[in-house]
Amino acid sequence: MAELDLFRFVPFRLNRLAAEVSHALSEEYQTLYGLDIPEWRVMATLGFRDDACSAQFIAQCTRTHKSTISRAVTTLLARGLIERVENSIDRRAFELRLSRHGKTLYDELIPRLLAKEKDILSCLTAQERRDFAHALDKIERSLDLVQTRHPHKADAY
C-alpha cells in the first residue's frame, strides 16, 4: 500500500497555499473596508469586468457555493457597493455590477492587493513566476475552470 506524505500531496499543499494567500489578502480589504472573503470575491469578479453578470457566474468563476455568494450579494447591495441591473435578454432576471461607490472602493484597493501579491511572490525569480503562472494555467484548463471574464463563454454552473 502506498504511503501518503501529506506535506508533499499537491491538493493539500494547494489548499494550504490558497488559504494562506487568501488570508493575507483579506487583511487588506477586511481592515480597510470591512469586506469578508466572499464579499471580496463578488467585488473582484465584478470589478475586472466591463459589463454586469449573474451571481451564478460569480459562483462558478470563484468556485464559491451559490448560497455563500447570495449572502455576500445581499450584504453588498445593502451597503450600496453593487447594484442590480435588468438582464437585456430576460427582463425577469437581473445581473450585478459595481455601483459608483463600489468602483471607487475597488479602484482604491487594487493597487494594495497587487502590491501584496508582488510581496507574496517575491521569493520567486521572474522566470519562476512565469513558470508558476503557466503551470497554474495548465492545471486550471485541465480542470475546466473558468478562465474568461465573459459569462457566455463559461459552462453552465
User: Tens digit of pLDDT for each residue in 39-53?
Assistant: 999 999 999 988 899
Question: Which residue range is the domain that position 84 belongs to?
Answer: 11-153
pLDDT of 82-108, one tens digit each? Answer: 999 987 777 778 999 999 999 999 999
Q: Taking the chain, what is the end-to-end CA distance rounded to the nearest angstrom?
A: 37
Which pTM was predicted? Answer: 0.84
In the block, cell 492545471 appears at 139
Amino acid in the structure at residue 47:
G
The answer to the question of residue 6 being in a domain is: no
In a domain, 20, yes or no: yes
- Tell me how many degrees the CA angle 5-9-10 measures, rounded to the nearest 5: 165
Number of domains in the chain: 1
- Which DSSP category does 51 fall into? S
- Domain CATH number, residue 49: 1.10.10.10
Output the CA torsion 108→111→114→119 (10° steps): -120
User: In angstroms, rounded to a whole number, what is the distance separating the alpha carbons of residues 84 and 48?
Assistant: 17
